[in-house]
């Protein structure tokens, strides 16, 4: 099967925004729509499950320059559609931007401003389930068996009990949650409704969809049709699914361009942080940054992961260390800065698009939901060294194309030291329609997660298979600490201080 994925994603750096928590507009409150002039939870108070802090899309638009300076090229928003929850996964209306976020006026202005600055915008599509407030389901609650929308959902018997937990709900809810009635995707009108929603926002200029729990949709051909219809409008639209483990079923080129790559996240943190990982924060979510692993195991896991899907799919995977569904990475690694720095280095040098969760770049911490969804720190509380680190590593990835789209080759692994190459030959660059220039250089990335300095030798025969050829004598240290020595037989010795990494 011919696999084609969006070219822009292969060199993208994403920034994930939880809209209620990123930024409030600086516009005077009295000038805002009345729907935004409501009581709100204090911005710096610990976040709660059922309260709003009032972040909005005007606020995002006012901070686009910050994202550009960080090196971001694309924004992934968690849901923005009208809802009765701060996370907005309980969709009321798929055609309306939530009024607390500023409505359609704020979104239209944001989209125009983002595109003017070269930023792509990807929205979150919650198409497995809707909410009790979704009009068609609400009609069922009001009119019972007389509702014309019965076949849109999975009604089991009567009466329905959407709020009374002492009674059976009598309809299918996602994970048996009453607020989230599941669509009947086999019903042609319901299926067509979702397809048209997908088309509508792409026609509006949105650059792609992140699909919430797509594996829950069992209707044959559903996501293949969704892809066909979205791509018919914009062949470069990005379709990325929330699949936490083996995604082979969806990544054959006929459904998704990529998935949220948690199989990268877990082993990476297990390797660089080891026993520093805070187990209470990770034993629930299914991405497994434990138990601790050593370099050989890590290298094998990454190699296996990269062999799992077609290469064009690998380049459009969405790689991450934190998200709205898991504890923030700095908290997961016990606030050990070296662990995070090594993980970030591996993130920005791994095939696929790196994604930064809002606030991680300024030192935000947070436990499991809802604590991982805190209000963005005021600038006076930013860790400026941390921000500079993120800028430097993102700039490195964007400058050296091999780090974005080059082939990945494991070179050496010993104890807690690991090295790999990213290389982009002129032939591979031509296949990706990338003009040949100086940034096609091959790069060696090495990390030492041990508490002591190490020397890691890369055999000459390993280096000989990298193209363009690696030459220690002609190399340069692009990032980090350490020394590189070229032996007479062509081997390289990397001398790495404890808990550091480098790019050569």
| Residues involved in catalysis | 212, 242
- Look-up: residue for tokens 């030291």? 417
Cis amide leading into 370 (omega within 30): yes
Q: Are strands 91-97 and 500-503 parallel, antiparallel or unpaired?
A: unpaired
Cα–Cα distance for residue pair 218/247, rounded to 1 Å: 14
CA angle 165, 171, 175 (to 5 degrees): 70
Cα–Cα distance for residue pair 312/315, rounded to 1 Å: 5
Composition of the chain by helix, strand, coil, percent to 5: 40, 20, 45
Q: Environment class of residue 478 by beta-carbon count within 10 Å: exposed (0-12), middle (13-18) or buried (19+)? A: middle
Cα–Cα distance for residue pair 243/245, rounded to 1 Å: 6
Half-sphere exposure of 161 (CA within 13 A, CB side): 8
Cα–Cα distance for residue pair 278/257, rounded to 1 Å: 32
Coil vs helix vs strand at 130: coil
Cα–Cα distance for residue pair 364/476, rounded to 1 Å: 33
Both tokens of residue 94?
């798929």
- Contact between 347 and 301 under an 8 Å Cβ cutoff? The reply is no
- Contact between 456 and 419 under an 8 Å Cβ cutoff? The reply is yes
DSSP 10-25: GG--EEEE-HHHH---
**Residues 6 or more apart from 157 whose CB is under 8 A from it?**
170
């Amino acid at each position: 099967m011919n696999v084609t994925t969006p070219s822009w994603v292969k060199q993208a750096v994403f920034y994930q925004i939880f809209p209620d928590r990123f930024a409030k507009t600086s516009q005077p409150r009295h000038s805002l729509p009345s729907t935004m002039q409501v009581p709100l939870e204090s911005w710096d108070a610990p976040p709660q499950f059922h309260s709003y802090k009032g972040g909005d899309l005007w606020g995002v638009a006012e901070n686009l320059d910050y994202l550009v300076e960080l090196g971001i090229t694309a924004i992934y928003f968690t849901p923005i559609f009208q809802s009765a929850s701060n996370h907005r996964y309980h969709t009321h209306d798929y055609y309306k931007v939530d009024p607390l976020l500023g409505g359609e006026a704020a979104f239209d202005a944001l989209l125009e401003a983002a595109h003017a600055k070269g930023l792509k915008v990807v929205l979150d599509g919650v198409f497995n389930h809707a909410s009790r407030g979704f009009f068609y389901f609400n009609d069922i609650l009001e009119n019972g068996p007389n509702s014309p929308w019965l076949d849109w959902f999975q009604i089991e018997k009567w009466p329905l009990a959407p709020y009374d937990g002492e009674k059976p709900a009598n309809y299918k809810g996602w994970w048996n949650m009453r607020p989230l009635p599941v669509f009947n995707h086999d019903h042609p009108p319901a299926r067509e409704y979702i397809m048209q929603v997908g088309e509508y926002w792409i026609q509006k200029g949105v650059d792609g969809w992140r699909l919430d729990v797509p594996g829950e949709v069992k209707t044959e051909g559903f996501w293949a049709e969704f892809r066909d219809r979205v791509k018919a409008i914009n062949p470069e639209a990005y379709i990325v699914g929330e699949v936490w483990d083996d995604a082979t079923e969806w990544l054959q080129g006929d459904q998704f361009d990529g998935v949220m790559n948690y199989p990268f996240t877990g082993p990476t943190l297990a390797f660089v942080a080891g026993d520093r990982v805070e187990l209470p924060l990770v034993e629930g979510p299914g991405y497994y940054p434990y138990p601790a692993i050593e370099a050989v195991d890590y290298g094998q896991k990454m190699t296996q992961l990269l062999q799992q899907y077609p290469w064009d799919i690998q380049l459009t995977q969405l790689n991450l260390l934190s998200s709205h569904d898991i504890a923030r990475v700095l908290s997961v690694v016990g606030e050990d800065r070296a662990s995070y720095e090594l993980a970030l280095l591996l993130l920005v040098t791994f095939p696929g698009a790196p994604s930064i969760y809002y606030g991680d770049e300024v030192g935000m911490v947070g436990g499991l939901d809802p604590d991982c969804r805190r209000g963005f720190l005021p600038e006076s509380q930013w860790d400026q060294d941390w921000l500079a680190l993120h800028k430097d590593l993102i700039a490195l990835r964007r400058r050296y194309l091999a780090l974005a789209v080059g082939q990945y080759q494991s070179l050496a692994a010993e104890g807690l030291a690991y090295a790999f190459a990213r290389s982009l030959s002129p032939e591979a660059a031509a296949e990706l329609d990338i003009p040949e220039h100086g940034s096609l250089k091959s790069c060696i990335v090495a990390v030492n997660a041990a508490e002591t300095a190490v020397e890691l030798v890369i055999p000459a025969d390993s280096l000989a298979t990298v193209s363009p050829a690696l030459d220690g004598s002609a190399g340069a240290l692009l990032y980090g600490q350490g020394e590189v020595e070229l032996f007479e037989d062509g081997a390289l010795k990397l001398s790495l201080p404890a808990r550091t990494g480098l790019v050569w």
